Structure 1
Amino acid sequence: MLIVVAGSTGLIGRTVVSELREAGHEVRRLVRREPAAEDEHEWDPPSGTIARDAFAGVDAVINLCGSSFQGRWNAARKRHIRASRIEPARTLAEAVAEHGVPTLLNASSLSFYGNTRDDVVDETSGQGPGFLAEMVVDWEAATAVARDAGSRVVLMRTGLVLSPDGGLLSLLRPPIRLGLGGRLGDGRQYVAWISLPDEVAAIRFLLDDPDVSGPVNLCAPEPVTNAEFTRVLGRALRRPAFLHVPKTVVRALLGEAADELALISLRAVPRVLRDAGFTFRHTDFGTALADVLRPPMPDR
């Protein structure tokens, strides 16, 4: 297949591109600068422009664009979070529709469901409250032009991706190694997680399965509580993680973002993936974390 990938320099995108090429696919990468390699094609999401030859003969588009949710929010930061997702999604969906590309896989987020507390949610569940949930609705709606043109559109609602090279784990490991780790708030909030190998495998699975479209939860079948997450991470790093960070402190540090990131409960399950026959490599959080944090084997 000939596949266009946007967001190819991110945590997930780098691995997706590498594995697609290892599997024999041809990949074109969209970049927001002058192309420096034969496989690069320039685009500018804010203006809605893409190099003319980028979509010639393309079989599928994978959009992984979006800046991190992490950090303290203000009005400017929230605008950037929205724009970094909605503008690329709209630009790519319009290009997919114009060029008749059969498939668009578009990144999305489990934040759609808001704070689920102890309730289990899947792709049949409705939208929750909050800034991120509303942003996800607009993000996914930006792909409608491709769907209306007859393309298969998959909305990949991803959870916390476990990787040693970035994401939340890279932020949590330093304080835990210093013995400063601990549960956030009461620790009963659920974390919907997925290992990076399963994330990439799921994307490849969705690329190949013509019968799957619409929202798909990319998360392991068994969410864990924040307290369990912290305990297992501390054990994996051989450090104590018994501290308790009160909600008031978390909110003082993160402001509005605290209740939508650190303190929110997302007890989501991957109903569509399971029904479609996808097999997870990692279903147990402890095993997944140990595998992710295991040092790579030296080259021989």
Structure 2
Amino acid sequence: MNILISGGSGFLGSAFSRELMARSRVQNKNVNITWLTRDSSQAHPDDINMMTYEELAQSDMSFEVIVNLAGAGIADSRWSDERKEQLLASRIQPTEALLAFIARTTIKPKLLLSGSAIGWYGTQGDKSLTESSGFETDFAHKLCDDWEQLALKAMNHGVPVAIVRTGIVIHPEGGMLGKLLTPFKMGVGGQLGDGKQIMSWISREDWVGAAIFIIEQHLANHTSEGHHASEQHHTNVSSSDNVLETANDTPAVVYNLTAPNPVTNHTFTKALGTWLHRPTFFTLPEFLLKLMFGEMSTLLIDGQKVLPKALLEAGYEFKQPTFKQALTEQE
């Protein structure tokens, strides 16, 4: 099986690639992974192929699955107007390149798995949110929705789409946890604001496992018959499941990639301090977070309770369903 990954060298893409290759060796299956890159000299594992975007534009290769993860980190810096443009462009440009390849290639992929985030739902406090929930409009929602709507255009070419809305990914190698390790180890870690905001998280091991589960489930049920391209219209999630209602008969689904047990920031802080054997007396008040981070402070202050209803109903079994497990059972 040939798989093309944008963002393959990143925090999620690299772990996803490693697990795919490990499973292929155990199962004695032939899996070829290609990372899309803007830098042909980028370091990479020996068993990973590399392809530049320029090469993709000329390539006649075929891929059974395309995984679209490219995108700058939304929490990496303050949301200036320039940064907002960078965040959008870093998602839109790779997706457009993939769509151009899909439109041109003779043998279409059987699935496009495209990244998104639980920011799609906007700020909704402690309201339980599943794939059929609506949204509140803010910058995070618009960023995610623009990315999702573009990826869904793959259906115009008969390619099914799975959108994965990712929560806070937990692993010490990167993401939010990677950024917090240093201050917490120094004993200056603490809760954010009143600590009551809900954090919807997922261990990196389960993110990888869930993504592979979605792909394998789709390929097992895949049929190329009865899929006809048509003009893409704006989509809404069905009220009963995670199937996106579109004007197109090519299937599209959405999954929340979050653990089934979200925690408050207070619980997160205390668990992290216990794991590191460090005190967590400090508190960063809300006004200071807003002063430091501006509009981006909403990611730290305003909670989201996003649940993986579709993933659980599909039969995925979490390896690390609790936050304590995510901290103590790292690979």
TM-score (norm 2): 0.83
Q: How does 1:193-272 map to 2 (within 5 A)?
A: 193-210=201-218, 213-259=252-298, 261-272=299-310
Once the two structures are overlaid, the 10-residue window that deviates more, 17-26 or 276-285, is 17-26
- Tell me the residue number matched to 2:315: 277
Contact 1:97–1:145, Cα closer than 8 Å, also in 2: no
CA shift for structure 1 position 116? 1.8
Contact 2:184–2:278, Cα closer than 8 Å, also in 1: yes
| 3-state SS, counterpart of residue 65 of structure 1 | coil
**Residue 13 (str. 1) matches residue 13 (str. 2):** yes
- Tell me the residue number matched to 1:50: 56
- Tell me the residue number matched to 1:63: 68
**Residue 73 (str. 1) matches residue 79 (str. 2):** yes
Contact 1:183–1:243, Cα closer than 8 Å, also in 2: yes
Q: How does 1:92-111 map to 2 (within 5 A)?
A: 92-99=98-105, 100-111=108-119
CA shift for structure 1 position 35? 5.8
What is the aligned counterpart of 1:161 among 155, 162, 169? 169
CA RMSD of aligned residues (A): 1.7
| 3-state SS, counterpart of residue 213 of structure 2 | helix
- Tell me the residue number matched to 2:227: none
**Residue 149 (str. 1) matches residue 149 (str. 2):** no
Aligned partner letter, 2:64: D
Contact 2:57–2:97, Cα closer than 8 Å, also in 1: no
Once the two structures are overlaid, the 10-residue window that deviates more, 25-34 or 247-256, is 25-34
1:21-42 per-position Cα deviation (integer Å, ceiling 9, x unaligned): 2233111111112367882111
CA shift for structure 1 position 205? 0.7
2:74 and 2:320 map into 1 onto residues whose CA distance is: 25
1:125 and 1:148 map into 2 onto residues whose CA distance is: 25
1:87 and 1:215 map into 2 onto residues whose CA distance is: 22
- Tell me the residue number matched to 1:84: 90
Consecutive unaligned residues in structure 1, runs of 5 or more? none
2:5 and 2:128 map into 1 onto residues whose CA distance is: 32
**Residue 289 (str. 1) matches residue 313 (str. 2):** no
TM-score (norm 1): 0.91
Q: Identity over aligned residues, as a percent?
A: 33
Contact 1:231–1:242, Cα closer than 8 Å, also in 2: no
Contact 1:35–1:42, Cα closer than 8 Å, also in 2: no
Contact 1:93–1:144, Cα closer than 8 Å, also in 2: no
Aligned partner letter, 1:2: N
Consecutive unaligned residues in structure 2, runs of 5 or more? 25-30, 222-242, 244-251
CA shift for structure 1 position 50? 2.4
1:166-204 per-position Cα deviation (integer Å, ceiling 9, x unaligned): 111121111112221111111111111000110101111
CA shift for structure 1 position 126? 1.2
Aligned partner letter, 2:18: S
| 3-state SS, counterpart of residue 15 of structure 2 | helix
Contact 1:62–1:106, Cα closer than 8 Å, also in 2: yes
**Residue 170 (str. 1) matches residue 175 (str. 2):** no
The alignment of Structure 1 onto Structure 2 pairs a total of residues equal to 287
Contact 1:94–1:146, Cα closer than 8 Å, also in 2: no
